[in-house]
């Protein structure tokens, strides 16, 4: 099996953890990233963990000519895992055009190059946000795609449609779309992890930055939702568990054991956890209290969502293994390592 894989957005949060797991399984990885939301030093962390530095080119997928040169230079790519996209729900509400242009143009350019170079399969980094606010929980892959609650979620819905149509037109053979719930945590080595540049949009990095003193206080966006403690509920999945699902998916693609040419899997733990429960779990594992206050709701937030993981568990033979406690602890360890002198980020 040709094990040369292109990973777009491979220095990013989920991308870098997936590169580690791919290399652990003997895949030969090449990364494209424009470093708009990550740092080149992530390659050092990957190399320290796996002993192998992935090939890397700093390319913006929205730059068609740059991308075309890349594919001319790098033959023999067996398939692509496409992470490169902006992904903050809240930010996408403030700046929709940034999200539509970046997330869609980059995908279209990539698919065009895959067509030209006869690269037949793609693993697409999708999101549970395609389900909007589900009427029924937990959410399965057959749950209706609802009007997205944010431009970010909408770019994921439109991207899946673009890929489906490309397959229908026989300009692409296969896609496995992985709909993530809420990825959190860091690699157990604390050598790579979430690296939000600027003010974090996501809950867990904001918590760890507040606890370490970078942020003054965590704002909890609303506590009057129709949930047990009034705060929003999400399905928080460990990033290494999530990364391992990508390796299984790309092997499925390469071994041609997919059941349909467009497959979808929900990647979550199957358990819903509230914002307050995350805060309490953090306080327990870090043994320090967190400074937070309740403020108004954030535009674009859904009230509650968590995954029905039966299909992914059965079909992929994959299940999450790392507990919420250990995952939150890994985020805290990573934050502490980030702020010590030896980590050059």
d(C-alpha 275, C-alpha 281), whole Å: 10
Q: For ligand WQD, give the closer residue by CB, 129 or 327.
A: 129
219 scored as a contact of ligand WQD (CB under 6 A): yes
Phi-psi region of 213 (alpha: psi -120 to 50; beta: other; left: phi over 0): left
In the three-class reduction of DSSP (H, G, I as helix; E, B as strand; rest coil), residue 180 is classed as strand
Residues 110, 59, 187, 336, CA torsion sign:
negative
Q: Are 85 and 157 within 8 A, CB to CB?
A: no
292 is annotated as an active-site residue: no
Residue 266 C-beta: closest distance to ligand WQD, Å: 11
Distance of CA 115 to the CA centre of its chain: 25
232 scored as a contact of ligand WQD (CB under 6 A): yes
Beta bridge partners of 6: 30, 80
Provide Rg for the chain, Cα atoms. 19
Q: Kindly compute the dihedral angle of the four CA atoms of residues 25, 239, 82, 163, in this order, to the nearest 10 degrees.
A: 110
The active-site residue out of 99, 131, 152, 225 is: 152
Spell out, one character per residue from 280 to 319, where the chain touches ligand WQD: x when CB under 6 A holds, - when not: ------------------x--x------------------
Which of 183, 185, 329 lies closest to 242 in space, CA to CA?
Answer: 183
Q: For ligand WQD, give the closer residue by CB, 23 or 210.
A: 210
210 scored as a contact of ligand WQD (CB under 6 A): no
Which residue in the block uniquely carries the two structure tokens 């010590």? 340
203 scored as a contact of ligand WQD (CB under 6 A): yes
Q: For ligand WQD, give the closer residue by CB, 3 or 196.
A: 196
87 scored as a contact of ligand WQD (CB under 6 A): yes
Spell out, one character per residue from 21 to 60, where the chain touches ligand WQD: x when CB under 6 A holds, - when not: ----------------------------------------
Measured distance between the N- and C-terminal CA atoms of the chain, rounded to whole angstroms: 36
Which residue in the block uniquely carries the two structure tokens 């080595």? 189
130 scored as a contact of ligand WQD (CB under 6 A): no
Stretch that binds ligand WQD, among 35-43, 48-56, 84-92, 328-336 (CB under 6 A): 84-92
Spell out, one character per residue from 258 to 277, where the chain touches ligand WQD: x when CB under 6 A holds, - when not: -----------------x--
Residues in Cβ contact with 181 at an 8 Å cutoff, skipping those fewer than 6 apart = 128, 234, 235, 236, 237, 266, 267, 268, 269, 305, 306, 307
Stretch that binds ligand WQD, among 1-9, 46-54, 116-124, 213-221 (CB under 6 A): 213-221
Q: For ligand WQD, give the closer residue by CB, 43 or 278.
A: 278
Residue 47 C-beta: closest distance to ligand WQD, Å: 26
Stretch that binds ligand WQD, among 47-55, 73-81, 82-90, 187-195 (CB under 6 A): 82-90
Q: Which of 120, 234, 246, 252 binds ligand WQD (CB under 6 A)?
A: 234
d(C-alpha 292, C-alpha 210), whole Å: 9
Burial 25-40 (b: 16+ CB within 10 A, else e): eebbbbbbbbeebbee
89 scored as a contact of ligand WQD (CB under 6 A): yes
Residue 180 C-beta: closest distance to ligand WQD, Å: 4
Whole-number Cα distances in Å, 141 to 74, 128, 153: 35, 10, 16
The residues annotated with a catalytic role in the active site are 152
Contacts to ligand WQD by CB under 6 A: 87-89, 127-129, 180, 182, 201-203, 206, 218-221, 232, 234, 275, 298, 301
């Amino acid at each position: 099996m040709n094990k040369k894989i292109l990973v777009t957005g491979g220095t990013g949060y989920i991308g870098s953890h997936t590169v580690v797991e791919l290399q652990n399984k003997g895949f030969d990885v090449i990364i494209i990233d424009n470093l708009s939301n990550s740092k080149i030093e992530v390659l050092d962390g990957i190399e320290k963990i796996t002993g192998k530095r992935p090939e890397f080119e700093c390319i913006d997928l929205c730059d068609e000519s740059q991308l075309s040169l890349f594919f001319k230079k790098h033959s023999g790519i067996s398939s692509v895992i496409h992470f490169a996209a902006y992904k903050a729900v809240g930010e996408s509400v403030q700046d929709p055009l940034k999200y539509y242009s970046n997330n869609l143009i980059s995908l279209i350019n990539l698919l065009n190059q895959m067509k030209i170079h006869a690269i037949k399969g793609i693993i697409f980094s999708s999101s549970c946000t395609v389900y909007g606010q589900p009427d029924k929980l937990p959410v399965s892959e057959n749950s209706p795609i609802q009007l997205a609650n944010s431009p970010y979620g909408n770019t994921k819905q439109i991207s899946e449609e673009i890929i489906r149509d490309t397959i229908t037109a026989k300009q692409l053979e296969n896609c496995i779309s992985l709909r993530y719930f809420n990825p959190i945590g860091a690699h157990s080595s604390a050598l790579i992890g979430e690296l939000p540049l600027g003010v974090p949009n996501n809950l867990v990095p904001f918590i760890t930055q507040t606890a370490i003193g970078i942020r003054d206080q965590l704002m909890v966006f609303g506590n009057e939702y129709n949930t047990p403690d009034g705060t929003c509920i999400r399905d928080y999945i460990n990033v290494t568990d999530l990364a391992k699902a990508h390796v299984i998916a790309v092997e499925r693609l390469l071994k041609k054991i997919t059941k349909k040419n467009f497959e979808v899997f929900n990647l979550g733990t199957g358990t819903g956890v509230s914002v307050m429960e995350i805060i309490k779990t953090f306080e327990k594992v870090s043994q320090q209290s967190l400074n937070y206050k309740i403020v108004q709701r954030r535009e674009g937030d859904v009230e509650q969502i968590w995954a029905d993981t039966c299909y992914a568990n059965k079909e992929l033979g994959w299940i999450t293994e790392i507990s919420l406690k250990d995952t939150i602890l890994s985020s805290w360890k990573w934050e502490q390592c980030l702020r010590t002198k030896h980590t050059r980020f």
